[in-house]
Amino acid sequence: MKPFVALTATVLAALVAAPAFANEAAPAPAKADLAKGEQTAAICSACHTADGSRGITANPILQGQHPDYIVKQLTEFKAGKRKNAVMNGMAAPLTEADMKNVAAFYGSKKPVPGAAKNKDTLALGEKIWRGGIADKQVPACAGCHGPAGAGIPAQYPRLGGQHTEYLEAQMNAFRSGERANSAQMTAIAAKMSDKEIKAVTDYATGLR
Ligand code: HEC
Ligand code: HEC
Distance 21 CA to ligand 2 centre (A): 31
What is the position in ligand 2's atom list of the atom closest to the CA of 69?
Answer: 17
- Which of 5, 66, 144, 175 is the best mutation target for the ligand 2 pocket, counting ligand atoms within 8 Å of the beta carbon and taking the most? 144
Q: Please tell me the predicted confidence (pLDDT) of residue 173.
A: 98
Does position 203 have pLDDT exceeding 60, yes or no? yes
Q: If we measure between CA atoms, which residue out of 14, 11, 21, 17 comes closest to residue 98?
A: 21
Distance CA 142, CA 105 (A): 26
Is the CB of residue 55 below 6 angstroms from any atom belonging to ligand 2? no
Give the amino acid at 153.
P
Distance CA 172, CA 174 (A): 5
- Interval 106-123 mean pLDDT: 95
Does position 12 have pLDDT exceeding 50, yes or no? no
Q: 27-36 pLDDT, tens per residue? A: 555 589 999 9
Distance 44 CA to ligand 2 centre (A): 24
Q: If we measure between CA atoms, which residue out of 38, 28, 32, 20 comes closest to residue 71?
A: 32
CA angle 89, 91, 97 (to 5 degrees): 155
Contact 14, 75 (CB under 8 A): yes
Indicate the length of the chain as a whole number.
208
Backbone angles phi, psi at 161, to 5 degrees: 90, -20
- Which of 36, 39, 88, 90 is the best mutation target for the ligand 1 pocket, counting ligand atoms within 8 Å of the beta carbon and taking the most? 90
Distance 180 CA to ligand 1 centre (A): 16
Residues with CB under 6 A from ligand 1: 40, 43-44, 46-48, 58-60, 62, 70, 73-74, 84, 86-87, 90, 102, 157, 169
Burial 51-73 (b: 16+ CB within 10 A, else e): bbbebeeebbbbbbbbbbbbbbb
Q: 48-100 pLDDT, tens per residue? A: 998 888 889 999 999 999 999 999 999 999 999 999 999 999 999 999 999 99
Q: Please tell me the predicted confidence (pLDDT) of residue 27.
A: 53
Q: 117-159 pLDDT, tens per residue? A: 999 999 999 999 999 999 999 999 999 999 999 999 989 999 9
Q: If we measure between CA atoms, which residue out of 102, 133, 135 comes closest to residue 195?
A: 133
Chain-centre distance for alpha carbon 163:
12
Q: Please tell me the predicted confidence (pLDDT) of residue 54.
A: 83
- Interval 103-120 mean pLDDT: 95
Residue with the smallest CA separation from ligand 2 atom 13 is 156
